[in-house]
Structure 1
C-alpha cells in the first residue's frame, strides 16, 4: 500500500479515535476489544496505532503474562474479569481468555476436557458481559504460512524485533496445523450473534491496521463531543523577590555533535 495514502488515512482514523475517546468519557461507556490471531499476524501493530494518539487512562491495554501459581488455583476467567472496563474506559486485550482454546490447548497446558468446557461456557459468559452493558468486539488476525515465516526470519535479523520471537512463536511455527485446527474450532464454537468474531486478513499490515480501526469505529455508535476551548487568562508576573537557583545540577549531556536545545 502507498505509504503516503496509508499515513493520511491513519491520521484521519486516529482523529476519529480521539472523538470516540471524548464520547466514551462523557457517556461512561464500557468497551472491551479482544485481539487474537496467529503469531506474527500484526496484533501489536494494530494496537499500537490505536493507542498512540489517545490517553492511556481511557484506552487501557491488557497483556497478561503466564498465570501465577495462585492464579492457577482460581476460576479461569477470574484473572481477566478484574481487567474489564469501568465506566469511561476502553480495554484492549492483547490476547485474552481465548488463550485456553488456543495456545494452552495446543501446547498441552490444560486438559482437553477443560478446553472443551471453555468453548461451551464462553458464549454464556460473553452474553452476560453484554447484558451488563459492555460493548464487546472480537478480532482474529490471520496470516498465511509463507508470510508468517517471512516475518519470523525478519525478527531473527532485526535487533529491534528479536524480543518478539518467543519460544511459543517457534512452537507455533512448527505446529501450524495444530493451531489451525484449534483456532477453527474456537471460532466455530464462540462466533455468536451477540459476540461475533471478525477476521482480519493481515498479510498486508497497513491495510489490516486501517481496516481494523475503521471497523471498530463503525461498530460503536459514538457521536462527536464539542470541544470546549479553555481560556488561559494571564500568566503570573515574576515576583520581585524571586531569586534564581544557581546550585549546580546534573544535566543530561548532548550525544549529537552541535545539537541545540
Structure 2
C-alpha cells in the first residue's frame, strides 16, 4: 500500500471527510483529485495556524502591514485572500476592494484614496487590487490619460519608499494565469448563478485585450524592479497551489515566533 511521508496510505486519506468530499467534488470520480484536495486541506490548516501566530505578533508589536494582490481578472486574488483571512482575528484586519473613483476622488492626488485605507497599529490590510490599477487596468481600458499614467509610473517607487520608511510592512503579490485558464474561469463564472455578479464589463473585454494587458504588465514590472519592495509572482493556473504559495510567501515576509502557542 502506497504511503506518504506522514505514513498515511491512499485508503487512509480517502477515508476521511476531506477525502470523500474531494472524491465526489465533480461528476467524474477522481482518486488523484481527491488525494490532491486532501493534501491541500491538511497543508492549508497548518498554514492557517501559522497565520494566527503571525497576526498575534503583529497585534502585540503594534505593527502595520499592507498586503496587495494584483493579477489579471479571474486570477484568484479574492480566493487567496479569503483563505488567508478565514481563520484570523477579524477585528485586526480589513479587506479593501475599491470601486472606481468618484468625481471628488478623481480631483485628488491619485494615491490619496488608498492612503485613507492604510492600517492602524496592530492591523493588516489586504488590497484586492491596489494603486497598481493605474499601471495596467486603467491604461488598457482607457480609464486614465497618458499623462496620468506617466505621473503614476514616476511616483510609485517613491510612494512605496515613503510607506516602508514610515514603518509599514508592504507585501506585493502578483497572481499569474495564462489566457486559456482565464477563459475557462470566465466560462465557469458565467455558468454559476452564485458567481455571475463577478463578471464586469472590464472582465468581458479581458480576453480581447490580453496582449495589451501583457504589454502594460511588463512595463509595470520593469518600472518597479528597482523599487523598495519586490514583487512575488505566483503561478496561479491551479488555485490550490497558488493559495498555498501566497500564504507561505506572506508568512516569510512578516517576522514572528513560529513556536508560540495559540
Scaled by the length of structure 1, the TM-score of the pair is: 0.84
Q: Which residue of 2 aligns with 1:24?
A: 58
Structure 2 residue 197 is the aligned partner of structure 1 residue 163: yes
SS of the residue 1:174 aligns to: coil
1:193/1:110 CA distance change after superposition, 3 Å: closer
Q: Deviations over 1:171-219 (max 9, x none)?
A: 1121000111011101110133520011011001000000110111011
1:18-167 aligned at under 5 Å gives the runs 18-167=52-201
Aligned length in residues:
228
State the distance in 1 between where 2:138 and 2:150 align: 12
Unaligned runs of 5+ in 2: 1-32
Of 182, 193, 207, the match for 2:241: 207
Superposition TM-score, scaled by structure 2 size? 0.84
CA deviation after TM superposition for structure 1 residue 140, in Å = 0.7
Pick the structure with more helix per residue. Answer: 2
Runs (4+) of structure 1 moved beyond 4 Å?
224-228
Structure 1 alignment gaps of length 5 or more: 229-261
Q: Answer yes or no: is the 8 Å Cα contact 1:22–1:225 preserved in 2.
A: no
Cα distance 1:150–1:50, how it changes in 2: closer, same or farther (>3 A)?
same
Show CA shifts across 1:98-119 (max 9, x none): 1111111111111112112211
Say if 2:72 and 2:177, in contact at 8 Å, map to a contact too: yes
Aligned residues: CA RMSD: 1.4
Does residue 186 (structure 1) correspond to residue 220 (structure 2)? The answer is yes
| Pairs within 5 Å for 1:206-245 | 206-224=240-258
